[in-house]
Structure 1
């Protein structure tokens, strides 16, 4: 990866972890703060009791075309989706992300529990639409302490849902 790509990835992760901490702290008595960012997991948090929690962060896009467009990487070769845009496709992408992150977790530092944060970067579908199809979302296994879903619901405000509650 290039340094520019790494910088962009760190910025995306930092924005996601800041929003996660803000929303989490707003509804929990045990508060979190960011200690540092690194790889495997992407961030290490500390709760107000002094315990460390790892946070693996990933971003959900409808497809590669949308990801490139939203990240400002348009070029002449990028085309739109090959078929109709469907919620089922986004849910399949979400399920694929969950499976992939669960399989990679074995390589992470086992010194502390690790949560997964999935930030929905796709403006294609709102939380209310995604949540209405929640029976199709793969219930996360016990690889992660929690699996969080950070998304919007048609407003600029972020919302945080624990996918373990499915």
Structure 2
């Protein structure tokens, strides 16, 4: 590993940490109830989340959406022996963490919505859950951090006609 790669990796992790800091003043309109979500979700559903991190504000601005994060509901396919409310039922990809499994209660203080694809068979739903389960442990591509950095920096002091 060369020094440039090490420096870039460290800088990317630093930026990821800064972007994941929580914004002040976030108040959910209707926080999610994990038990209600559990009764409503089916494997293969996508849980949309209105995040409260700095990166969330950028994502919401760029996508012109209320939602800044998404997690896939996989149900009870992951082995678990702990308390039921701690059981990981969602798979998500987080900046700095990569692909991880988390419990529903993680999003109890956020606005959430369920996005369900129409026409999926139970076999299709199991296939989607199995695909994402197989991706657990993969790392987030830190190159995306540098691409997002340009949205945090002011416009360069050059005429608009010279910019791309």
TM-score range, shorter chain: under 0.3
TM-score computed with the length of structure 1 as normaliser: 0.21
Q: Which has the higher contact order (CA 8 A, sep 6+)?
A: 2
Bigger radius of gyration among the two? 2
TM-score computed with the length of structure 2 as normaliser: 0.22
